[in-house]
Structure 1
Amino acid sequence: MDIAKTIRLAPGRYVVAVSGGVDSMVLLDLLTKLAKNPSPSTLHPQSLSFIVAHFDHGIREASHIDRKLVHEVSLENKLPFVYKEGNLGSKASEAAAREARYDFLRKVQKHAGADGIITAHHLDDSAETAVLNLLRGTGRKGLASLKAGNGIYRPLLNVPKGKLRAYAEANGLKWNEDITNQDTNYRRNHVRHNILKKLKESSPEGYHRLLTLIRRQRDINHAVDQQLQTLLHIQPSRKTLRRRDVIALPYAVSCELVAQWLRENGKRQLSRWLVEHLTVAIRTAQPDTELLVDAENKITFKKHTAEFRGV
């Protein structure tokens, strides 16, 4: 596999998230070479430009070493470098760290007027995320939730971790190992070391089937989402849903439509119970009644429509 050929980027300016680990250092090297030797789809070397962004979570005492490495490599490649110290502390959760990191990246993107953010997530990350979501109890999206979209580009999603490490070694790249990646008190590390690593060792073909399932689910999700968008496009407005369209669909499909409608209206955190509860209500509620979605939003029912409104 020539991993350089997996990168497809439109001409533009991008923020590259670089932690200093092997994955992101490989990504940075690939992008730097791409900018110097653009593919036929780019017009000239200046059609791609990158800003290196490093977020120091402040979880490890030695994390400043990562920042120093990323800064040095950025200087070597004459790339702009920005960083922020998060000072989250050693007890910060994975969710808090991720939220702070993406908040920083979005701010850098906005300030620079960049076209998107590029991260180094790879195929094994997809497997970890799928298993984590399965353990939490997930729907179809959770099996392939790690994907590109909303201004986030993940060009290495189909590249195994082993290929990235092999590239780094073959090209003499420098990187740092994050010791917290070995701490199985973090749920993701537990999945990585105690579940997926053992699966790879005991049943390589089983692990390969899991990766194949994730790829297929990603394609299925894309096709389903396109159909749902078509159904939502013919509704009276973004906040209004025709009740007969929900009733006409099989129940499982109507739940998917309602979930997509809620996401379109800014409701991102959805439980299966909430989606099913609202779907039943849209199908059966009496006119001139309403149902709370959360502390800020409600659905108002008319005879023929359901409307998403603020409280």
Structure 2
Amino acid sequence: MLIAAISGGVDSIVLLDLLSKRYKTSDIIVAHVNHGIRVESSEDADFVRKMSAKYGMRYRQIDLNLGLHASEEVARDQRYTFLRKLSKEFNAKIVTAHHADDIIETIAINLVRGTGWRGLAVMSAKDIYRPLTCFYKNDLLLYAKKNGLEWREDSTNSSDLYLRNRLRKRIKTLNPSIKQNLIQLWRNQTKIARDINKETAKFSKNSRYFYLMISNDVAVEILRNFLLNKGIAQTRPQLNDILISIKTAKAGSKRTLNSSVSMCFSISEFWLEFC
């Protein structure tokens, strides 16, 4: 069973068409997120619903009404929360239409923002299947036109208000060989990240003394893995701050990690408290 994340754009419509040729339509559930960010969001949802019916696939939708000023990060988090909920409900694998240019853009965003080495290992979640990462945007456009596919255009893709759009214009001018090198770098870093995750999982502990005895870089990776296993994702700066709390917080104190989780401290240990 597959949960296909379909926005209505050319990438996702190509994905939908390819899935229909490889899998039984009864095994595919089309998932659409109406973020409520653009005026035409409802029209996109109607289009995807009709495409689902055309292919004979089940359809699920969520309306978020995030508003015009919602950030890309907020929209993404809400989107994946919905997709993972469906994945759990139907015991299905999530499939997205991310392609090679998406990977390069995301790496560029992370580099501009000054993220650590993990910023090169983007889109590596094991619970998400991304079958189009071998292809570039132009490949998908050619396929769509050749097969007479219809799709929706996202008006925000032309807006310079978004960092991704500004970087996309520059990335388009890159030599193809540079793009290929970046994709190879991504593959290498993704493998390294998975190996590190596997090793750090062996040392996930809640002993404050343990974190005092190891180097900060290693401690951050182990702490990151510890929190992710609890379903809590944190940025590198946030992890650094949490590590300081683990080492210095007074017994009996607590630190808020997000709106629903706090970290509590005794003299020798820390633990998570869910609201």
- Structure 1-normalised TM-score? 0.75
Percent sequence identity is 36
1-structure distance, mates of 2:40, 2:185: 38
2-structure distance, mates of 1:280, 1:93: 29
Q: How has the CA–CA distance of structure 1 residues 87 and 281 changed in structure 2, closer, same or farther, with 3 Å as cutoff? A: closer
- Structure 1 residue aligned with 2:171: 196
Q: Is the 8 A contact 1:17 1:119 kept in 2?
A: yes
Q: Is the 8 A contact 1:241 1:307 kept in 2?
A: yes
- Structure 1 residue aligned with 2:256: 294
What amino acid sits opposite 2:2 in the alignment? Answer: Y
Q: After superposition, what is the alpha-carbon deviation per residue over 1:120-158, rounded to whole angstroms, capped at 9, x for unaligned?
A: 111211111112122222122222221232x33222233
Q: Is the 8 A contact 2:263 2:270 kept in 1?
A: no
Is the counterpart of residue 241 in structure 1 residue 207 in structure 2? Answer: yes
- Structure 2 residue aligned with 1:116: 93
The structure number with the bigger radius of gyration is: 1
- Structure 1 residue aligned with 2:227: 262
- How far residue 300 of structure 1 moved from its aligned partner, in angstroms, is 3.0
- How far residue 115 of structure 1 moved from its aligned partner, in angstroms, is 1.6
Q: Is the 8 A contact 1:133 1:142 kept in 2?
A: yes
Map of 1:69-218 to 2, 5 A cutoff?
A: 69-111=47-89, 113-149=90-126, 151-193=127-169, 195-198=170-173, 200=174, 203-218=175-190
- Structure 1 residue aligned with 2:270: 307
2-structure distance, mates of 1:249, 1:137: 25
2-structure distance, mates of 1:152, 1:229: 20
Could you tell me which of 252, 266, 269 is aligned with 2:217? Answer: 252
1-structure distance, mates of 2:150, 2:36: 22
- Structure 2 residue aligned with 1:43: none
- Structure 2 residue aligned with 1:7: none
Q: Secondary structure at the match of 2:172?
A: helix
What amino acid sits opposite 2:163 in the alignment? Answer: R
Map of 1:14-33 to 2, 5 A cutoff?
A: 14-33=2-21
Give the gaps of 5 or more residues in structure 2: none
Q: How has the CA–CA distance of structure 1 residues 280 and 166 changed in structure 2, closer, same or farther, with 3 Å as cutoff? A: same
- How far residue 277 of structure 1 moved from its aligned partner, in angstroms, is 5.0
1-structure distance, mates of 2:148, 2:111: 37
2-structure distance, mates of 1:80, 1:176: 20
- Structure 1 residue aligned with 2:28: 50
- Structure 2 residue aligned with 1:8: none
- Structure 2 residue aligned with 1:275: 239
Q: Secondary structure at the match of 2:27?
A: strand
2-structure distance, mates of 1:17, 1:196: 25
Q: Secondary structure at the match of 1:54?
A: strand
- Structure 2 residue aligned with 1:62: 40
Q: How has the CA–CA distance of structure 1 residues 91 and 301 changed in structure 2, closer, same or farther, with 3 Å as cutoff? A: same
Q: Secondary structure at the match of 2:256?
A: coil
1-structure distance, mates of 2:244, 2:47: 54
Q: Secondary structure at the match of 2:207?
A: strand
- Structure 2-normalised TM-score? 0.83
Aligned residues: 270
1-structure distance, mates of 2:273, 2:63: 36
Q: How has the CA–CA distance of structure 1 residues 292 and 197 changed in structure 2, closer, same or farther, with 3 Å as cutoff? A: farther
Q: Secondary structure at the match of 2:107?
A: helix
Q: How has the CA–CA distance of structure 1 residues 87 and 255 changed in structure 2, closer, same or farther, with 3 Å as cutoff? A: closer
- How far residue 280 of structure 1 moved from its aligned partner, in angstroms, is 6.0
Q: How has the CA–CA distance of structure 1 residues 290 and 161 changed in structure 2, closer, same or farther, with 3 Å as cutoff? A: farther
Q: Secondary structure at the match of 2:110?
A: helix
